[in-house]
Structure 1
Amino acid sequence: MGNTVEVSDWIIFIGRFHPLMVHLPIGIIFAGISMYFLARKKKFSQMKSAIPFLMGAGAVSAVLSCIFGYLLSFQGGYDNEALNAHQWMGMALAIFAVLAYVSVVWKKTKRIVVLQSGLMVFLLVGLVYTGHLGGNLTHGTSYLTQYSPDPVRKLVGLPPKPVKRPPVTLLDSADIFLDVVSPMLSDYCVSCHNPGKSKGDLILSTYERILKGGENGPGVVGGNLAKSELFRRVSLSEHHDDFMPPEGKKPLSVEQKKLLELWIMKGAPDKGQMGNFEIDRDYLLAANKVLGLEGQGNNSLAKRVEPADSSVVASLNAKGYLIRTISGGSNLLDVSFLSNGNKESVNIEELLPIKDQIVYLSLGNLNLRDEDLEVIGQFENMVRLNIHSNPITDDGISFLGRLENLEVLNLYGTKIGDIGLEGLVLLQKLSRIYLWNTQVTPEKVGNLKAKHPDLEINMGEVSS
C-alpha cells in the first residue's frame, strides 16, 4: 500500500479516524494489564471484576484500529516496509488482545493462569513496539532516536549523534542552506516528507531529494521560483488544498518564506555563507529575525546609516574606485579599486568621508603601507577587508584591532607574522582569515585553532 491507490473518498475519510481510534486500545489494554497484575495482591483484589470488561473493550478497539488503519493505508505516501511492519504487528496485537480477553473469562485453571500472564506480557511489549512503528510512519524513523543521548544510541546499535553546527552569531558567516534553509524544512516539513513517510513521493530530509521533488515535479529549480514546487506550495493561501504544511500544522512565517525565496533565487546552493551573496535589505532583515539576531547588534549588514554624499562618491569613482551598494535599499557600500597601473595614486584618506558606509573593502596589490592601515582602522562598520599582496607588517595590522565588526580578512601575500595574528584573533566577530604566503608559522595557527575552534584560518587558498 506504499503507493497511492484510487479509492473512494469515504475510505480515506473513515481511515483518517485511525489516529483517534488507535489511542483507545493503548489506554484500555494498558489499564487492563496493570489491573491484572495488581489484582494478584490482596489489597487490590477488588480490581478483578473490572479486568474482563477492560480486556474486552481493548480487544474490540484493537480490531477497529486495525480496520481503520488498513483503510488509511490506501492514502499512500508511506514506506512499504515500514507500513507492512506496522500493519502486521497491529494485527498480531489485535489477535492476542482477543485471546487475552477469552483467557480472562475462561474457566480458571493453572494452565490458563500461566497463559494469561504470558499474553499480558506480550501485549505490553507489543503495545510499545507497535506504537513505535506507528510513530515512525507519522514522524519519520528518526523521531524516537533523534534526541536520544549517546549511551542510549550505543545500546541500540546507532552511531553517535552528529556534531551540531555551532549557533549562528554573525549573519555574514551563516551558511545559507545548512544554517537557514535546512533547519526550516526540518522543523516544518520533514515530519511528513521523510524516507518513512513520503507524502506525494516527496522527501525533504536531504539536499538531493529537496531538489528532486516528488510526483508533482522538481521540488526546487535554482533561480526559478515558478518551477520550484516546494516554494509554490508554501506560498499559496492557507485555505488552498495544495498549501503546505497541511491545516493543523504551523506554517512558515513571512520571513522564512522570504529566505526560501532568496535561497532559490541565488541558485539553491548546497552551501555558501550569506556574506558571499549580494542580498537586498529586506532579506537581510528577514534572516536577522529568523536566526534570532534581531536586536542583538550582531547583524552588521542590517545597520541603518545615512547615504554617502553623492558628490564624494562621484569624485572617488573618477579616481578609479568602484563603489556599489551591497544591496537594493541599503546605504552600505562595497568599495574596491580599479588599478590603472600606478599604485602610488591610491590615497586611502580620500575614503574617510564615506567610512561609516563602507562594509566591504577590497584593496589588494596596491602597495599599501602600514600608515594606510591606520586610516582603514577608522572604518568601524567594516565587515570584510581584502588587503592581500601589500607590503604591510605587524605594526600596521595592529591598527585593525579597532574594527569590532570585522568578520572576514584576507592577508594573503603580506608580511604579517605571529605577533600580528595574535592581536587579530581578539576581534570577537572575526570568523575567517586568509594567511597563505605570509610569515605566520603553522605552529601559531595550530595553537590559535585550538583556542578559537570557530575561527577559520585558511593557509592554502587564495580568496577574493
Structure 2
Amino acid sequence: MNPKNNPAQHQFPEENTREKSTSWWDRLAYHIAFFLNGLLIFLLIFESRFVAPQWMKAVGRIHPLVLHFPLVVLMLYGVWVLISGKKESGRWNQRLAEILLLIGVFTASVAAFSGFILSKEEGYELETLVWHKWTGVAVSLFSIIWYSYRHYFLPWKITSKIVAVSFIAVLTIAGHLGGNLTHGNDFLISPLPAPEKKKVAIEDALVYDDLVQPVLQQKCYACHNGEKSKGDLQMHTRELLAKGGKSGMLWDTTKADLGLLLQRIHLPAEDKKHMPPRGKVQLTDDEVMLLAAWIKSGSRFDQKVSTLSPQDPVYSYAINILGGGRIEEYDFVAADPAAIQKLNTNYRLIRPLSAESPALSVNFYNRASFKSEDVAGLSALANQIVSMDLSKMPVKDEDLKSLAQFPELRKLILNFTDIEGKTLGELRKLTRLRELSLSGTQVTIADVKVLAGMPSLQKVYVWSTSVKPEDISAFKVQTKIQFETGYQSDTVILALNPPIIENQNQILSGNATIKLKHQIPGTTIRYTIDGSEPDSLTSLVYKEPIRIAKNTKVKARAFKSGWYGSKGAEKFFFLSAFPIDSVRLITPPDPKYPAQKDATLADGIKSDNSQSSGKWLGYRDTDFQTYLFFRKPVHAQNVTISMLQSINGYIFPPVKVEVWGGANENNLKLLKTITPDRPVKESQNVDNLAIEADFQPQDISCIKIKAVPLNKLPAWHPGKGEKGWIFVDDVFVN
C-alpha cells in the first residue's frame, strides 16, 4: 500500500518514530530527574528526622542558581500547549517542545531537591517557606508526570490546555512565594509610590508614630515581624522594638555609635550583617538621620513634632513627609552637591534642611571617631550650614573658635559635650545664631552671661548644668534671651546619665591613669576594678584619676541625692609595660582578615568590637602562631592576648593557648598553657576578651604564642559542626 494512502501514517508520522528520536541524553536526564523526585519524596516523608550534613549545604546553595530555568522553560512549554489550536499546529515543533519539557523536568527536580536542602537552614519565614516548598515539589512532580504521559496529553486537546493553565498557575505561585521569601512581601511594589493616605497635621504629629515607624515598616518589618523574626528581633510593636533581639537592645545612647541599630546600618553594604540586607531597598540619608536623631533625643514614643525647633532637621523631614509648617527662606546659593557628597561620612551626615532648600544641617554620630578637624573640615560649606548637632561629641572649649567660622548658623547643639564655657564668647561672632543648647555641660551662669549682647540669640538650653533658675531670674533684666533650665519638681525623680570614661585609648602604659567625669555638677561617681557592680554605699568614690597595675575592667555609676542612680559605664583597659620591638607571624592570617599583618600585634591600636573594623587578624583553618622579639631582655611575668568573641559571627575563644619564652626562637620553653572557658548559648554575644598567661618572673628576649581555633561549633549554634574563627589584635607583655 502506498504510504500516502495510509491514514494512520499520514496523520501522526511522529508517533511511529518517537521512541527512535529519544536520544541517550534524553533518557539520562529523565532518569536523573526520576531519581531526584523519588529521593525528594522519601526525604519529605522522614523530614522530621532528616539533618542535612555539612557538605550537602553546598547543594542547597545552588538553588538560587537553577530555579529560574524551570520557571522559564516550563512556562514556555505551557504557553506552547495553549496556542496549539489544531492538530497540525504542533507537528513541526513537537521535538522542540519535548526538549523544552525535558529540560524543565530536569531543572525542576534539581531546583526542588536543592531547595529542600536549603530550607533546612535558618532565617526564613516559616509559613511562606512551607508553601514555597510544597508548591516547588508540586512543580517538580507535576512536570515529570506530564513528561511521562505526554503522549496522552496532545496539545490540541482540551484536557491538555486545562493541565497547562493549572501548571502555569502553580509555577506562578511557587515563583511568587520564592520571591517573597528572598526579598520580602513588598519587594516588587516597594519602589512604587505608597498609596495616598490621610496625612496627620504637623501640630498633631508624633515623631515615632508618623515619622520613625513608617520607615521601620517599609525597610525593616519584612524580616522582623510577628511571623518572621530574624535574630529573634520583632519591631512591629513598641514593646518588642525596645526589647531588641538576641544580639541585644537596638540602641544605647551611652555608646559612641548609639548602639546596634545604627551600627548595622553603617556597615558596608557587602557585609552580611548590614541592614537592610543587600538586595532590599536601602535607607536613604534622610531616614538614617531621622533614626539617629530620634535615638539621640532619648527614643521617646510620645514626642510631638511641634516641640521641635524649625531648624531641627527632624522638623524639616516632617515638613517634607507630612506637609504644612513654615520653611525659612535663605538668601544664599546652594552648595555643590559633589562637595556635600565628598564631605559626608558614615558618622558625619550633611543634608539639606528640606527639598529645594540651599540650607544644610550637619549631624555627628560617633564619639570615638570624632576629631576637632571634623568641624574645621566643613569650611567649604560654611555659607550653607545653618544647623549643627554635636551632642555627646568630645568638643572642647578650644573648638568653639572653629564653630565661630560658620556665619549662617541658626542652631547649634552642644549637649553633653566637654564644653566648660570659658570660650563661649567666641560664639558672639555668629550673628544669625538663634538657638544654642548647652545642656549637660559644665557651663556656669558667669559663662553664659557673655551671650547677653547677641541680638539674634533667642533661646539657650542649660538643662543639667550648674545654672539655676534663681541665677536666670537675676540675669533676665539684662537680656531678652529665654533660658531653659528644665522641668523643676519636688515629686518627679529622674535617672542620671552614666558617667563618662574619658580615656579613648584602652591601652595604658607608663604613668597613664583612668579618668572619669559626669556632666551634672555635684554628682558622686562610684567605681570598681574587681569585676563587681558598683553600688551607692560600699564602692570606691572617684576623687582622682585611677592608677592600675594590671589589666583591669573599670565599672562606674553616678549617684546624686534626689536622682535615681545611673546605669553602669564600663571599659576594659590593657596594661603594656614592655613595648614589643618586632613581630614575625609564623602562620599567615586568613586573606579575609589580614589587618596590618605582623604590625597588628604591636601597633598599640585597639580595635573596636566590630569584626569588620579591618584591625583584626583572623584565623580559622590554621592555628595562630607568632614570635615576639625584644632587642634587650625584659623581666616579664605576664602575656595578655587581646581577642574578640562574636558568637553570631562564628568567632569563639581558642580551645588552647600556649605561651613559650626564652633567649631566642631556638631556645624556648613552655611558660603557660591556657584553656579558655567555652561560651554557652546564654553567653554575651559580642565581647572583648583578654587571654592572660601568668608565669614565674624571668628575663625573656623572645616569646612564641600559639592559639588553636575551635574545630567544631557547638550543637546549639546555628553553624553547628563548622569551624570557628579566632580574632587577635594586640599582645601585651608585663
Q: TM-score, normalised by structure 2?
A: 0.35
Alpha-carbon contact 1:225-1:232 (below 8 Å) kept = no
Judging changes above 3 Å, is the alpha-carbon distance between structure 1 residues 259 and 146 closer, same or farther for their aligned structure 2 residues? Answer: closer
> How far did 1:147 drift?
10
> How far did 1:27 drift?
0.9
Q: Which residue of 2 aligns with 1:296?
A: 357
> How far did 1:32 drift?
0.2
Q: Which residue of 2 aligns with 1:327?
A: 413
> How far did 1:275 drift?
4.6
Offset from partner CA, 1:353-383 (integer Å, 9 cap, x none) = 967544899xxxxxxxxxxxxxx9xxxxxxx
Give 1:71's match in structure 2, choosing from 83, 104, 117. 117
> Is 1:34 aligned to residue 34 of structure 2?
no
Aligned length: 315
Provide the rounded CA distance (Å) in 1 between the counterparts of 2:138 and 2:385.
63
Judging changes above 3 Å, is the alpha-carbon distance between structure 1 residues 299 and 253 closer, same or farther for their aligned structure 2 residues? Answer: closer
Matches within 5 A, 1:249-328: 249=280, 251-252=282-283, 256-277=287-308, 293-296=354-357, 304=386, 327-328=413-414
RMSD over aligned CA atoms reads 5.1
The one-letter amino acid of 2:107's match is S
Provide the rounded CA distance (Å) in 1 between the counterparts of 2:174 and 2:352.
38
Provide the rounded CA distance (Å) in 2 between the counterparts of 1:359 and 1:247.
44
The one-letter amino acid of 1:27's match is V
Q: Which residue of 2 aligns with 1:314?
A: none
Provide the rounded CA distance (Å) in 2 between the counterparts of 1:203 and 1:162.
27
Structure with bigger RCO (C-alpha 8 Å, 6+ apart)? 1
Provide the rounded CA distance (Å) in 1 between the counterparts of 2:52 and 2:309.
50
The one-letter amino acid of 1:327's match is I
Q: Which residue of 2 aligns with 1:395?
A: none
Alpha-carbon contact 1:79-1:195 (below 8 Å) kept = no
Matches within 5 A, 1:179-190: 179-190=210-221
Q: Which residue of 1 aligns with 2:667?
A: none
Provide the rounded CA distance (Å) in 1 between the counterparts of 2:222 and 2:213.
13
Judging changes above 3 Å, is the alpha-carbon distance between structure 1 residues 55 and 8 closer, same or farther for their aligned structure 2 residues? Answer: same
Alpha-carbon contact 2:434-2:458 (below 8 Å) kept = yes
> How far did 1:217 drift?
2.2
Judging changes above 3 Å, is the alpha-carbon distance between structure 1 residues 145 and 68 closer, same or farther for their aligned structure 2 residues? Answer: same
| SS of structure 2 residue aligned to 1:82 | helix
Alpha-carbon contact 1:35-1:47 (below 8 Å) kept = no
Q: Which residue of 1 aligns with 2:138?
A: 92
| SS of structure 1 residue aligned to 2:413 | coil
| SS of structure 1 residue aligned to 2:115 | helix
> Is 1:83 aligned to residue 129 of structure 2?
yes
Offset from partner CA, 1:182-203 (integer Å, 9 cap, x none) = 3443444344434454332333
Provide the rounded CA distance (Å) in 1 between the counterparts of 2:204 and 2:356.
18
The one-letter amino acid of 2:66's match is M
Provide the rounded CA distance (Å) in 1 between the counterparts of 2:193 and 2:243.
33
| SS of structure 2 residue aligned to 1:193 | coil
Q: Which residue of 1 aligns with 2:692?
A: none
> How far did 1:236 drift?
3.4
Q: Which residue of 2 aligns with 1:449?
A: none
Judging changes above 3 Å, is the alpha-carbon distance between structure 1 residues 165 and 357 closer, same or farther for their aligned structure 2 residues? Answer: same
Give 2:68's match in structure 1, choosing from 23, 28, 36. 23
Judging changes above 3 Å, is the alpha-carbon distance between structure 1 residues 252 and 82 closer, same or farther for their aligned structure 2 residues? Answer: closer
Judging changes above 3 Å, is the alpha-carbon distance between structure 1 residues 143 and 247 closer, same or farther for their aligned structure 2 residues? Answer: closer
Matches within 5 A, 1:392-407: none
Q: Which residue of 1 aligns with 2:105?
A: 59
| SS of structure 2 residue aligned to 1:163 | coil
The one-letter amino acid of 2:164's match is M
Q: Which residue of 2 aligns with 1:441?
A: none
Alpha-carbon contact 2:413-2:436 (below 8 Å) kept = no
Choose between structure 1 and 2: higher strand proportion: 2
Judging changes above 3 Å, is the alpha-carbon distance between structure 1 residues 238 and 43 closer, same or farther for their aligned structure 2 residues? Answer: closer
Matched-pair identity in %: 26
Provide the rounded CA distance (Å) in 2 between the counterparts of 1:115 and 1:39.
13
Offset from partner CA, 1:207-264 (integer Å, 9 cap, x none) = 4433233222233457767684222222335565533233455654555434322211
The one-letter amino acid of 1:332's match is R
| SS of structure 1 residue aligned to 2:138 | helix
Matches within 5 A, 1:44-443: 45-104=91-150, 106=151, 113=157, 115-141=159-185, 163-165=197-199, 175-220=206-251, 228-238=259-269, 240-249=271-280, 251-252=282-283, 256-277=287-308, 293-296=354-357, 304=386, 327-328=413-414, 331-333=433-435, 356-358=456-458
Provide the rounded CA distance (Å) in 1 between the counterparts of 2:191 and 2:313.
35
| SS of structure 1 residue aligned to 2:245 | coil
Q: Which residue of 2 aligns with 1:407?
A: none
Q: TM-score, normalised by structure 1?
A: 0.53
Alpha-carbon contact 1:29-1:58 (below 8 Å) kept = yes
Judging changes above 3 Å, is the alpha-carbon distance between structure 1 residues 14 and 89 closer, same or farther for their aligned structure 2 residues? Answer: same
Alpha-carbon contact 1:28-1:54 (below 8 Å) kept = yes
Judging changes above 3 Å, is the alpha-carbon distance between structure 1 residues 29 and 205 closer, same or farther for their aligned structure 2 residues? Answer: farther
Q: Which residue of 2 aligns with 1:348?
A: none
